[in-house]
A and B are shown apart, each in its own frame.
Chain A
Amino acid sequence: MLELSSLTAGYGRGQVLNGVSLQIKQGEMVALLGANNAGKSTLIHCISGLVRPTGGTLKFNGEDFTDLPPHKIVELGISQVPEGRLVFPQMSVRDNLLLGGINRRALPGRPKRLDFVIDLFPRLGERLEQLAGTLSGGEQQMLAIGRALLADPKVVMLDEPSLGLSPLMVQTIFRALRALHDGGLTILLVEQNLNLALAHASRCYVLERGTMILEGSSAELKNDPRTRNAYLGL
């Protein structure tokens, strides 16, 4: 469904991604692992259109979307839940969610999807008129996910969803992700938390300093010492 081929990208003189390739099939939950500066976020941003790759192609269901602007990529069906949540702090939870469904494809079904998200995250439903900036970290994460869902996406990419959250919150969030995945949603998970990623994703990629060094099923990678080494920066 989603295919990256030989992607290169960099800011200025430093190359952040060196010929990275990645495939995700419909209905999969795939994890992207790697240490801090491996280039995971850059990869996600390339897919979302925020960063222009210097080489390589991006394809969605066979169609090249490398040159599309960010808003058209959302319309295509690829949504990102960004690192740090990035909710709109001075807007209500409801307004945040409504904005999630602003793209042309999602707009007609927006009221229904709003109800769906509120069912998924009842806490959001209780706080609809509250300003998003006053929510707790976990609630903001729920809001960010909900907002991405309102775009009626075919693929959702989450950038470090567990960052800064309490273990209880992480459980809640991942339970919701599991439910979404079971419902047929394709998910790309970028996670620093190795165990979390291996536990939920069926397949993993490991990125190290801009190069994809490992790829395989979670079971395989779990036992591969190179996976842990990549995290220790060896």
Chain B
Amino acid sequence: MKSDAFLFLRNPLFLLCLVVAAAMPFWLPSYYLGIATLALVYIGLALAWNIVAGIAGQMSLGHSVFVGIGALLSSALLLKLGINLWLGMLIAAAVSAALAAFIAWLDFRFRLSHLSFALITLAFAEMGQLAALGIEFLGGASGLYLPPDKGNILQFEFGGSRGNFYLLFVIAGLCLLANLLILNSRLGYFLRAMHDNENAAQAIGVNLLRNKILAMMVSAVLTSLVGTAWARYSGFVDPYQMASPRVSVEVILFATIGGLGTVLGPLVGAGFLVAFGEIVRGKVGAVLPGLHFFIDGILIVLVILLMPRGVVPKLAELFGRRAPKLDVANLSTKTAA
């Protein structure tokens, strides 16, 4: 299992896709480049979320808080206190990490069931949005406008669409790398043991608290970084978009449709669905608002009924490759009657 995770990095097809993707600013028209950049945002979010949900098995509905912190806090620090956005990004990441550690501690200390954990994180997400809307320092309901992008890297400005694309490309890449590293490491081993059966894992000596906190913190930090990058890319930090529980739900849907627990699943899921969604929205959005989300809804229902492990594992199965191990669908704990 050890070399498995990195194996596909050497896969020529993957490398080809990587090169093609990296070259997108040079061959994609700018409208589509924007879509690709947004797709990278969600790819990063989905991969970051995969660490707690796919690998460790904790369904956090609260990751939108970390996105919000990454986007709003860093922007507010810049606009209201003049703090450099690089520094702001790190501060936001630290705050996210602290909050994540707290949530993970709650999970451990109170022995939360999967459902309770999901609901508590949902409550945090709702409260997070209320905070974002209500606190003037963070921009309140009207949001924040970042200063125009003049290309000064020291100011966390990357010079427009091409630069922003690469910013998000690098960050999404970080998230991908994190997944691979974790899956390949002892942490990943422990997390998957916890995923399957917490009591058994604890019995064989896995430190539940430490690992829960670690997973949650890594995931939160990455999410926060994506949030900051998203703010920079977008220029306008909209609390209704970047601090809303909807983001959590979208990420969950994309990652699950793609294949929770795998590495390619969230990547492919988020990438395709965001791209597809934006294109649909562009074509018929005025006449049929929400069509792409409607289709997303149909997709998740179909996926859960027909291929509960996700599209990527299903494709892997169809093409004869051994599907990745993790399997939320068939867990024996806490099933419905």
Direct A–B contact present (CB less than 8 angstroms)? no
By a beta-carbon cutoff of 8 Å, the part of chain A in contact with chain B is none
